Amino acid sequence: MLYSFLESVKYVGHLIPISFLRIFLGYYYLEMALQKVQSEFLYRPVIAELIGEWLPNSRAPHWYKVLFGTYLLPHWQGLAFAIVGLEMAIGLSYLIGYVVRPVALLGVLLCLNQLYINGPNFEAHNKLLLAVHFMFAWLGAGRCLGVDYYFYKRQRGLWW
């Protein structure tokens, strides 16, 4: 596995800049997730306050507002858990370059949601992250300096 990790530089070396971006973003997401775990994000309705504050004024479709306002807001703890879990999965996946493609699609989904619930101050930030996740999924950013190359060599397929 270590051999293929280094070998990836030889065969898909053009992806090195993307891999650095992936690793940086992985670190960023993991740090965000750990901060949330150590803070009161999972135990106090921080996310419910955010949603309550911004969602009514956001440009989200009506069904989305109803879904969050009526069904997800009362179960804020599950939602907070899902957000932290996803951030952690994205962080770990990007750091080691494992299952990057499907995880990047989860990142796209997460950013789409954050666009509506995080308020206008973070809109540009989330749009940018969304584009980066999309590029990772498109390029298969785990194939260089990542575990994905090992599996790609053996199993091929769209997932790597």
Q: Which residues bind other proteins (CB under 8 A)?
A: 37, 42-43, 45, 48-49, 52-53, 57, 73-74, 76, 81, 84-85, 88-89, 92-93, 98-99, 102-103, 106, 119, 121, 151, 159
Find the shortest distance in angstroms from Cβ 100 to other proteins. Answer: 10
Residues 6+ positions from 39 with CB-CB distance below 8 Å:
46
Find the shortest distance in angstroms from Cβ 113 to other proteins. Answer: 17
- Report the residue number, 16 or 37, with the smaller CB distance to other proteins: 37
Q: What is the CA angle 65-69-73, rounded to 5?
A: 135
Find the shortest distance in angstroms from Cβ 63 to other proteins. Answer: 21
- Report the residue number, 17 or 40, with the smaller CB distance to other proteins: 40
Look at residues 109, 103, 110, 108 and name the one whose alpha carbon lies nearest to residue 89. Answer: 103
Find the shortest distance in angstroms from Cβ 129 to other proteins. Answer: 19
Look at residues 119, 74, 92 and name the one whose alpha carbon lies nearest to residue 25. Answer: 92
Look at residues 53, 44, 41, 151 and name the one whose alpha carbon lies nearest to residue 87. Answer: 41
- Report the residue number, 30 or 130, with the smaller CB distance to other proteins: 30
- Report the residue number, 136 or 151, with the smaller CB distance to other proteins: 151
Token reading at 57 = 């004024």
Sole residue written with tokens 């101050």? 121
- Stated as kind and residue range, the H or E segment containing 153 is helix 148-155
Residue 76's CB is within 10 A of a number of other CB atoms, namely 19
- Report the residue number, 7 or 49, with the smaller CB distance to other proteins: 49
Find the shortest distance in angstroms from Cβ 72 to other proteins. Answer: 12
